[in-house]
Amino acid sequence: MDLSARNILKILSIITVFLLFLFFLNSIQGVVGWIAAAFLIAILLNPFVGWIQKFIPTKNRIAAILLTVAIILAIILFFLFVMLQPLISSFGGIITELTKYFETAKNNNEVNNFMTQLNWKDVTSSKAFSTIGGGITGVALGLVNSVFALVTILSLSIFMLVNPQNVVDSVGKYIPKKHLSLFNKVSTNLSSIVPKYFGGVLIIATLAGICSFIGLLVLRVPFAIALAASVFILDMIPMIGATLGAIIVVGFCLLINQPLTAVIFVIYYIVYQLIENNIITPLIQRKTVKISPLSILVAILIFSAAAGMIGALLAIPIAALIKLTYQDLKDEGYIKSE
């Protein structure tokens, strides 16, 4: 190995450039995340915009985009003005029940002895007010930043939706001609898998939330709308989400001293899950992803560890895209079949 001063300088230069590149990526990771989120939203909305465009006499793409945005805003406003108040009241009731439970537990001698062993000390009033004030300020700043990020992401998504082919072509300009065929296949797979998968997930989660709400109403469980909303949100997480939602409901039933209700709901939810896993999910997602359960589990573990809940939500479409890309690499001759 030639360790001349010139080669050592080259190696150090390469390492320095690489480290600077990593530093640059780290400094713009927020912006990259916004662009990625906007790209994902554009992919999700593109089929819906195309469908609406068919019903517009002039077939105007911008009009279809504006109508799509108006429909989404109408749904959000409906949720805010019709559903938000019952949800807040319901979640507030759950918090009240939890507070009562912890107050009861606090008066328990065994709990007090355990807290004494941990050297638990009361927080002074001034410190408490200072903490609350700092928390309110942090929440306000976080809310302003979130609104700014949301507006920016939606604006980028709208620009991408105006002519999605231009976005693909703009990226394709930087791809060597010999790799363009592979790039086109990957982009086609991406635009096909993502909307179909997340559309299916939304339908399945909605059905789970509605069925849970009906079951909770029949069983006369208080705060049914909040518990059903929790099931709806968690059911979007692949494989484990439905179980987590059921655990929350059963745990609340036990907390309010309704063990029989908890047992009945477990049986009801097991029956629903059998129907969902064997009929609903295969019917909705049969053409979306075709990967083994083991691959799904590994993908969820890897991506949830890397990006939390967002990673868990994206794990299955990414795994499906990787599988299709591998097949495309074989078809294009990048990987030789044995």
pTM of the model as a whole: 0.66
Q: What is the 3-state secondary structure (H, E, C) of 76-142?
A: HHHHHHHHHHHHHHHHHHHHHHHHHHHHHHHCCHHHHHHHHHCCCCCCCHHHHHHHHHHHHHHHHHH
**145 and 83 belong to one structural domain:** yes
Number of domains in the chain: 2
Torsion angle, alpha carbons of 236, 241, 243, 246, to 10: -60
**308 and 225 belong to one structural domain:** yes
Would you tell me how many other CB atoms lie within 10 Å of the CB of residue 157? 21
Q: What angle do CA 144, 75, 33 make, to 5 degrees?
A: 45
**253 and 153 belong to one structural domain:** no
**149 and 231 belong to one structural domain:** no
- pLDDT of the residue at 277: 78
**155 and 181 belong to one structural domain:** no
- pLDDT of the residue at 31: 75
Which candidate, 250, 269, 253, places its Cα nearest to that of 212? 269
**207 and 273 belong to one structural domain:** yes
- pLDDT of the residue at 263: 92
- pLDDT of the residue at 36: 77
Looking at the domain assignment, is residue 13 inside a domain? no
The amino acid at residue 294 is L
- Return d(Cα 247, Cα 282) in angstroms, integer: 24
**182 and 325 belong to one structural domain:** yes
Looking at the domain assignment, is residue 212 inside a domain? yes
Q: Which residue has the tokens 């938000």?
A: 84
Looking at the domain assignment, is residue 167 inside a domain? no
- Return d(Cα 229, Cα 87) in angstroms, integer: 8
Looking at the domain assignment, is residue 19 inside a domain? no
- pLDDT of the residue at 214: 92
Secondary structure letter of residue 179 according to DSSP: G
**181 and 320 belong to one structural domain:** yes
- pLDDT of the residue at 24: 75
**195 and 325 belong to one structural domain:** yes
Looking at the domain assignment, is residue 245 inside a domain? yes
- pLDDT of the residue at 224: 85
**75 and 150 belong to one structural domain:** yes
Residues of the domain holding 66 = 31-110+130-162
194 in Cβ contact with 40 (< 8 Å): yes
Q: Which positions of the chain have pLDDT values less than 50? A: 1, 120-129, 132
Looking at the domain assignment, is residue 122 inside a domain? no
Q: HSE of 159 in the Cβ direction (CA atoms, 13 Å)? A: 9
The amino acid at residue 293 is P
Looking at the domain assignment, is residue 241 inside a domain? yes
**181 and 140 belong to one structural domain:** no
197 in Cβ contact with 285 (< 8 Å): yes
- Return d(Cα 9, Cα 5) in angstroms, integer: 6
**204 and 303 belong to one structural domain:** yes
Looking at the domain assignment, is residue 4 inside a domain? no
